[in-house]
Chain A
Amino acid sequence: MGWLFVFLAAVSEMVGVVGLKLYSQNKTIRNGSIYIGGLGAAFAFLYASFNYLQVSIAYSVWIGMGTAGAVLLNMVFFGESKNAARIVSLIAIVIGVTGLKSLS
């Protein structure tokens, strides 16, 4: 059950970041709701998962999946740069974030 909440939290975060992208391009209420609603739901699901899992584990898995997913979605659907330096840097950030959270 806890892992289901973590998974839902990561998916909500990706939705929120797509909303963020859309809202930055076009400031409509719909796009703003996807942005705020997605990130808000991500926090709510993450918080729910704390009832079942250790906080540092749930947090590190969520943030790793969510950040990597958000970046990938932007590359695939919004044509953001796929140059090697950028991909290596993003991998370093995701590993750093996940590792640091798992130790905290």
Chain B
Amino acid sequence: MMNKSWIYVILTCLFELIWVFGFNTAETWWHWGLVIVFILFDFYTLPKACEAIPTGTVYAIFAGVGTVGTAIMDVFLFEGDFSVGKVLFMALLIAGIIGLKLADNKEVDKNMKGVA
């Protein structure tokens, strides 16, 4: 159950990156149509992820991945500049996301032991 929910976390982040990219590049009506479709997918998968994983965790990861993703897109697709500061904040953010995943796993182990 837990692992299946992490797939929803990955999907919701992926859809988020697609529509954010779409927002920056959409030109014709069907581009905007696709953006809306991905926003709808995103709004469907986000609560799905929250069914078995704490909402605080899911939302922080959602916001974090969106931020790192847009920063990277900015550098590679829209010719923004990379700086040491950006790389440091990105590293800190990613460390936080990994830490959060590990912290929640530990919590599940503890609960399992409590049951047994």
Contact = CB atoms under 8 A, between A and B. Distances in A.
Contacts of B93: 92-93, 95-97, 100
Q: Is the interface of B mostly helix, strand, loop or mixed?
A: helix
A25 B55 CA distance: 10
A86 B100 contact: yes
A97 B68 CA distance: 8
A94 B64 CA distance: 8
Contacts of B61: 93
Contact of B47 (A23, A70, A85): A23
Contacts, number: 127
A54 interface: no
A71 B64 contact: no
Interface string A18-49: 00110111010000000110000000000000
Interface in A81-104: 81, 83, 85-86, 88-97, 99-101, 103-104
B95 A92 contact: yes
A89 B97 contact: yes
B56 A70 contact: yes
Contacts of B89: 95-96, 99-100, 103
Interface of B: 43, 46-51, 54-57, 59-61, 63-64, 67-68, 70-71, 74, 80, 83, 85-86, 88-100, 102-104, 106-107
Top 4 nearest A-B pairs (CB, nearest first) are A96-B93, A92-B96, A89-B99, A24-B50
27 contacts: A20-B55, A20-B59, A27-B47, A35-B43, A66-B63, A70-B55, A71-B60, A78-B55, A81-B54, A83-B106, A86-B103, A86-B107, A89-B95, A89-B103, A90-B96, A92-B93, A96-B64, A96-B67, A96-B68, A96-B94, A97-B64, A99-B88, A100-B86, A100-B90, A103-B83, A103-B89, A104-B80
